[in-house]
Each structure stands twice: as C-alpha cells, then as structure tokens.
Amino acid sequence: MSQDNNGLPRWADVLLIPVINICLALLVSGLIIIAIGEDPIEAVQILLYGAFGYDEALGYTLYYTTNFIFTGLAVAIAFHAGLFNIGGEGQAYIGGLGVGLVMLWLGPVLPFWMLFILGIGAAALFGAAWAYVPAYLQVYRGSHIVITTIMFNFIASALMVYLMVNVLIEPGQMAPQSKQFAEETFLPFIHEIVEAFGGEMVHTPLNISFFWALICCVLLWLYIWHSRWGYELRTVGFNEKAAGYAGINYKKVVILTMCISGALAGFVGINEVQGVHHRLILNFTAGYGFTGIAVALMGRNHPVGIVLASLLFGILYQGGAELAFEVPKITREMVVAIQGLVILFSGALALMIRPAVEKLFRQFNRRPAPVAQEA
Amino acid sequence: MTDLFTVIVLTLDATLRVATPLIFCAMAGLFSERSGIIDISLEGKMLAAAFVAAATAAVTGSAWFAMLAGMTVSVALALLHGLACITYRGNHVVSGVAINILVSGLTVVLGIAWFERGGTTPPLQADARFMPLEWPLAETLGQIPLLGTIYKELLSGHNLLVYVALLIVPLSWWVLFRSRFGLRLRAVGENPQAVDTAGISVAFLRYRAVIICGLLCGLAGTYLSIAQNASFTRDMTAGQGYIALAAMIFGKWRPGTALLACLLFGLLDAVAIRLQGVPLPVVGEVPVQLIQALPYILTVILLAGFIGKAVAPKAIGMPYVKER
C-alpha cells in the first residue's frame, strides 16, 4: 500500500489496475468454462439474466451483496492497520449466535425496535469477542494473528455444531436447528416495506440490514479517514514502529481494530439469522467470510470499492445459481473458483501487472503528449 | 485385559492411518516455511492432488500414474504460490488463501463436469489404488499374544504411502539439518541477505523449497483419494491441511516434533470416533466436537506461549528484494 505511484496517474491506480486484474480473473474463468465444454459468452448471458433479468433476481443479488459488504469491510479495516483477519467466517458465525441467543430469549418479550438494537449489539459484541482473543494473543503473547484466526474459524465451527446438536436444537427435531424466533423479531423485508406504502414487489430475502450495511460503509469511511482513531490506525498500518515513536499505542490500536473488524463480520448474523432464516442453523455463513477477502482486495479496501465489489460478487452468487440451474455442467462452485482467481490476481499477483502498466505510462508521458492529467 | 490391549492397538493403527496425510503436509510446510515462505495452501494443494490422482486413476487404472499426476498438479500450484510470493513479492497469506479457495471450487466444478457424479470420482478397483501390504507371516505371528498383535495389526497391513510418510520424516530431518542444501534453506528463512551475500540465489533456493513442498502435498492428496479411500469426494481434505499446519507449528518447525504432533492430532481424531457417547471417568461424557477442536485449541495455546515457545523462522513472510 505504498503511495509511490511511479508516474502512474491516480485514475489508473484506482480504476485501471483493478479492472485489468478482474478481467484477468474472468478471462481464466472463461478458459475453465471452455475447458469443460461450455460456451463462456452464453454463460455470462445466463449469469446476467439470473442476476437482474427477472423480478426476484435483483432482490437476491442485493441480499448476497449485504453479506459481502459486511465481511469485506471487516477484512478491509484490518488491512488498513496492517493486519490480516482470515477469521471473518468464524466471527460471522459467532456473531450470528449472539443474534440468535438474544432473539430466542428476549424475542417474545421486547418490542421490535429494542430487539433490532439489541440484535445489532449482540452481533457486534459476539463477533468482536471472537476477534478480541486473537488480537490480544498477537499483541501480548506474540502469536501470529493469521494462524490464530484460522484456528478460531475451526473452533467456532466445532462450538456451533456442539451447541446446535446438544443445546439449542428444537426439542423433538432431528435436524440441528433452533426453534423459530418469535415473529416480532423478524427484520422487515424490503418487499414488506414497499407493500406497506401501497407498492408491489416480489418476495425476496432482501431486508433492512442492507441499509445497515450501507450505513456501516459511511461510518467506516468516517472512522478510517476522518477521525483521530482512524489516523492512528492507518499510521500503525504504514509503520508500527514509527507509530510507536509518534506516541500511538500500537497495542490498543490492534485490539480496537480487530474488535471492529469482528463486529462488522458479526453483522452477517443480522442479515442471515434475524433477517432471513429466523432461526439458528448450521453453516449459515456459507463461506461469506472468505469472500470478504476477495471483496476487500478487489475494492482496494475503500468503502466505495467494497460496495462495488460486493455487488459484483452478489451478481456472481445469484447469477451463478441461475447458471447452475440452466447449465448443469457449470455448478455454483464455479463462483468459488472465480473468487479464488480474483484473490489471486488482485491480491497475490497484484505486482505482476503493475510494473508493465507503469512502464506503459512512463513511455506515454515521455512523449510531449498534450494530455493533461491530474496527480 | 487383552480386549483393552487390542482396542489400544487398533486405535494406534487408526491413528497412523489418519496421521499419514498430516505427516506429509507437515513436512511439506516445514520445507516451505523454513525457507521463509508461509504456506497456508497445504490444504488446497492436497485437495487438488487428491482430485487429480483419483481422476487419473479412474481413467488410466494405474495407481502410479495417478500419483505422478497428483504430484504434478500439486507442484504446479506450489510454483504458482512461488511465483506470487517470490517473484512478484505478493502477500504469502493472500496467495495461500487464493489457492485454497480456487481449488475448493475448481475440484467440484471439474469433478461434476467430467464425471457427472455430484463431485465424486468413480470408485476405483483395487489395482488402481495403493492397497494394504501384508507383512510376511503376519497371520502366523499374529497368533502370538501382545507382540504378535502389534506386528499384525499395527505394523503390517498399511498401504505403501503410510510407510513412505514415516520414512519421509527422518529424510526431511537429514536434508534440513545435515545437508548443505538444508543449511542454505534454513539460512534463507532466517537471513536471506546473508545467503545472497554468499553468492547463492535466494529465489532459486526458495523455489526449490516450494517444489519439495508441492511434491509432499501431492503425496498427501494421493494418499487420501486412492489409498485411504477409493474415490475423491468433494472437500475431502476437510481442514486436514490446516491441522497439518498446526502440527508443524506445534512441532516448533522441526521434523521430529512435528511428527509427534501429527500423531497426537491423529490420535485425537481416532479417539474422538471411539469416545462418541462414552462417559469417561471423572470428566463424564466429553463432547466429540471438543476433541475435534482440540488440535486447534492446543495450537492457539502453544502459539500464545503457554506451553513452551514456538518461534517461527525469522524472515518468514517477508519478500526478499535485492539491494542495488
């Protein structure tokens, strides 16, 4: 994340390079589709139709987008402090547990607006707690946050299986799921809101947590770029030693950042548990935590980029479901493979394309071309 | 008494079978990390190798071809990791995550497209697999109490790859700690500048390390799909690559202790199945999920320095840029 642009104009850095990397990832995905004997152009058409083409499509796309915004923001804020939080999956899982516990115990008692606030609070608290331990261990015991958060994903998964099978299971049921929450706890679906105003809309899982995700984007933007804490956070990310000399408490920043990151990941639980399933189930996180890594890398760790990247992955998820339905040879896991390729090209191989583009621009600039460019 | 003894021997026997892929992967991780390359893509490489080995075995009917194919694809992924981490100085963890996610998607996509069995490969005949090897006189000597049981149940009757895994450990130790290559490899993980000053290529050394890592992960995957099982099933590695990573850390980046950690984690796995629903003295019934999570919990505790101290190679995760 160096500021040294090597003669690269800002728009190329922010827009051109990410787009090239995504195109490379999609190109390889196209080759895979050709390899299994299908037509990639047709696949893209079906995918886009699946994501936008019919009435329910957009709602589903935005419902997936909601999850990716949360996990993408979670990974991004950690990146800004120079931390890699792979534990989004586990934090989302535990955050959902927090939401579920609140709804199960207080569901029938309290009014909705209190439940809504308590749900957000519980998701944040549980998610943050699950991120706090690795952060604490990194800062005070010197263990590596990457390894600890990976381990915590597995521990979260084992814990949830135990709780669902032995404790929270609905009595008399075989499937490991809790009983349904009281109806007062359900987050309003967007189609319900539209209907309340006399409009008409097809039923989709899209609910008001989508707006909470957008609010989180704004809050995070303010926090990282327009607050004292954010300044400290970015300073630690650039150079933790220098930050220390400047009087910034490195330990505090790491722990606070990881807690915010965990809380953001935990909000997936709001959308999934309180918004859609209305009960605790196993594996409701479905890999969204890992998708957050791709989203953050693709969105260059900026809220605007993250919303766009989340939308793209929402399209891929929803369109991918349609694609799997229409073309049996291409399964939903194709989206997972694309996700891996995106992480590869815009993350691990980010420096592959960059020098070439820089060289191109330097050659271009050496000529007295009358192109006025800012920065 | 003899019953208990038989149970113990059988549990150890199961331990060995479960621990084999862990041993391969832990040794693989050891070579990579000792050279300074963080590798959390053990899981992905193993899964890819498992898929390709099972697919090749199903098509050609040859276990050896399958092993070759599995190792080839694993090395290819290792080289991709190397390209990202060594040549393009990318983030090691990001690259590892990318490979894991890519493989977990791609194996299912290709599996369904090629075999149309919902992600599994066709079941393999015995000659397309590595089958258990009976040691000489196993049946006869098995009659002898105690020692005979150990000989027949524990030592004999594993497939070739189990024995290979056990041989890989001393071999890894010898290569890493007694050979010139190993000395240089460890040096490049601690202080690449020094190695570079001595006129040895840092990049070439690290590439060789990731290739070895790929070969060993390939063996682990081959073992899973055509030796331990008779076909590939989707996500069949089920986190074992991460357990191996944990075992390597738990073994403090040394082959011998890593082997012990693999066996311990394998034992936990073998015991977890046996202990399901059995009340233990003192503690009562232990949830099977707790035993399954124990490798991860132990690793976290170890890394936090509560049981000894695990110190990673010094230059791990840092790209090497030659000063000009």
Q: Three-state SS across B62-129?
A: CHHHHHHHHHHHHHHHHHHHHHHHHHCCCCHHHHHHHHHHHHHHHHHHHHHHHHCCCCCCCCCCHHHC
* Mean pLDDT on B187-214: 93
Contact B76/A at CB under 8 A: no
Cα→Cα distances B277→A18, A169, B306, Å:
53, 18, 31
Give the Cα separation of A269 and A290 in Å (integer): 15
pTM metric for this prediction: 0.89
Helix (H, G, I), strand (E, B) or coil at A229: helix
Computed over every residue of chain A, the mean pLDDT equals 89
Q: How many CB pairs under 8 A join A and B?
A: 156
Contact B113/A at CB under 8 A: yes
- Tell me A178's DSSP state: P
A200-241 pLDDT, tens digit per residue, is: 888 899 999 999 999 999 999 999 999 999 999 999 999 888
Give the per-residue SS3 of chain B. Answer: CHHHHHHHHHHHHHHHHHHHHHHHHHHHHHHHHHCCCCCCCHHHHHHHHHHHHHHHHHHHCCHHHHHHHHHHHHHHHHHHHHHHHHHCCCCHHHHHHHHHHHHHHHHHHHHHHHHCCCCCCCCCCHHHCCCEECCCCHHHHCCCCCHHHHHHHHHCCEEHHHHHHHHHHHHHHHHHHHCHHHHHHHHHHHCHHHHHHCCCCHHHHHHHHHHHHHHHHHHHHHHHHHHHCCCCCCCCCCCHHHHHHHHHHHCCCCHHHHHHHHHHHHHHHHHHHHHCCCEECCCEECCHHHHHHHHHHHHHHHHCCCCCCCCCCCCCCCCCCCCC
- Tell me A185's DSSP state: G
Residue B56 tokens read as: 């090749």
ipTM: 0.89
Contact of A98 with A269, CB cutoff 8 Å: yes
**What residues does A207 pair with on adjacent strands?**
A189
Res A286: pLDDT: 86
Closest Cβ–Cβ partner in A86, A151, A349 for B299: A151
Residue B273 tokens read as: 């199945």
User: Is B56 part of a structural domain of the chain?
Assistant: yes
Q: Alpha carbon B24 to chain centroid distance?
A: 4
CB atoms within 10 A of CB A10: 11
Which residues does A343 contact at the CB level (< 8 Å), separation at least 6?
Answer: A293, A294, A297, B94, B97, B98, B101, B102
Place of tokens 């099972």: B54
Contact B114/A at CB under 8 A: yes
How would you class B279 by CB atoms within 10 Å of its CB: exposed for 0-12, middle for 13-18, buried for 19 or more?
exposed
Kindly indicate the confidence band of residue A2, based on its pLDDT and cuts at 50, 70 and 90: very low
pLDDT exceeds cutoff 80 at B284: no
Helix (H, G, I), strand (E, B) or coil at A77: helix
Number of domains composing chain B: 1
User: Is B313 part of a structural domain of the chain?
Assistant: no
Give the Cα separation of A236 and A253 in Å (integer): 8
Res B270: pLDDT: 84
Amino acid at B228: Q
- Tell me A173's DSSP state: -
pLDDT exceeds cutoff 70 at A80: yes
Q: Do A343 and B106 touch (CB under 8 A)?
A: no
Res A85: pLDDT: 93
Kindly indicate the confidence band of residue A142, based on its pLDDT and cuts at 50, 70 and 90: confident
For residue A146, the chain B residue with the least C-alpha distance is B93
Computed over every residue of chain B, the mean pLDDT equals 89
Residue B20 tokens read as: 């084999």
Q: In terms of Cα–Cα distance, which of A58, A250, A46, A49 is closest to A140?
A: A250
Please, what's the largest Cα pairwise distance for chain B? 71
For residue A344, the chain B residue with the least C-alpha distance is B98
Taking only Cα atoms into account, the Rg of chain A, rounded to an integer number of angstroms, comes to 22
Res B323: pLDDT: 66
Contact B37/A at CB under 8 A: no
Interface probe, candidates B33, B43, B235, B289, chain A, greatest A C-beta count within 10 A: B289
Using an 8 Å CB-CB cutoff, list chain B residues near A36. Answer: 109-110, 113-114
What range defines the domain where residue B263 resides? 2-127+134-303
Interface of B with A in 266-305 (CB under 8 A): 287, 289-290, 292-293, 296-297, 299-300, 303-305
Which residues does B50 contact at the CB level (< 8 Å), separation at least 6?
Answer: B70, B107, B221, B222, B224, B225, B232, B236, B237
Res B2: pLDDT: 67
* Mean pLDDT on B194-198: 91
User: Is B322 part of a structural domain of the chain?
Assistant: no
Contact of A184 with A111, CB cutoff 8 Å: yes
* % of chain A exceeding 70 in pLDDT: 95
Contact of B109 with B118, CB cutoff 8 Å: no
Give the Cα separation of B182 and A21 in Å (integer): 37
Contact of A185 with A274, CB cutoff 8 Å: yes
- Tell me A85's DSSP state: -
Q: Do B98 and A340 touch (CB under 8 A)?
A: yes
CATH number at residue B205: 1.10.3470
Kindly indicate the confidence band of residue B172, based on its pLDDT and cuts at 50, 70 and 90: very high
Residue A247 tokens read as: 């009087």
A280-305 pLDDT, tens digit per residue, is: 999 999 889 999 998 998 888 999 99
- Tell me A249's DSSP state: -
User: Is B314 part of a structural domain of the chain?
Assistant: no
Give the Cα separation of A139 and B52 in Å (integer): 42
How would you class A196 by CB atoms within 10 Å of its CB: exposed for 0-12, middle for 13-18, buried for 19 or more?
exposed
B246-265 pLDDT, tens digit per residue, is: 899 888 899 999 999 999 99
Residue A348 tokens read as: 């691990």
Q: Is the dihedral of CA A262, A265, A270, A273 positive or negative?
A: negative
* Mean pLDDT on B76-81: 96
User: Is B315 part of a structural domain of the chain?
Assistant: no
∠ CA(A147), CA(A153), CA(A158), 5° rounding?
130
Contact of A190 with A58, CB cutoff 8 Å: no
Contact of A70 with A275, CB cutoff 8 Å: no
* % of chain B exceeding 90 in pLDDT: 56
Helix (H, G, I), strand (E, B) or coil at A122: helix
B122-135 pLDDT, tens digit per residue, is: 888 888 888 888 77
Contact of A48 with A61, CB cutoff 8 Å: no
Give the Cα separation of B294 and B39 in Å (integer): 22
Res B127: pLDDT: 83
Kindly indicate the confidence band of residue A337, based on its pLDDT and cuts at 50, 70 and 90: very high
The torsion angles phi and psi of B133, rounded to 5 degrees, stand at: -100, 120
